[in-house]
Amino acid sequence: MRTIARVVGLVALLGTIAPPAAYLSGSMSLESMKTWLLVFTVVWFIVAPVADRQTKLEKIVEESGGEVVP
């Protein structure tokens, strides 16, 4: 799950760079750039905490020796 979240987060982060670059090169309209930028930003804000939470949970489990403490 963490790997998928990291990959999607990276793609979304790169997606926040690509639309402005396409707009500056003249291959994308302003409205289209704004729409894609919003989509990639929302995806990144949803996925980034998921990837981070998975990492923190794995560290907690490793530090506890795999024991679940109630």
Rounded distance, CA 7 to CA 28, Å?
Answer: 25
Q: Which residues of 6-29 are buried (b: 16+ CB within 10 A; e: fewer)?
A: bebbeebeebbeebeeebeeeebe
Residue 17 carries which side chain, given as an amino acid letter? I
Long-range contact list for 33-40, CB < 8 A, 24+ apart?
39/15, 40/12, 40/13, 40/15, 40/16
- pLDDT tens string for the chain (70 positions)? 778 888 998 999 999 999 999 999 999 999 999 999 999 999 999 998 887 776 666 677 677 766 655 5
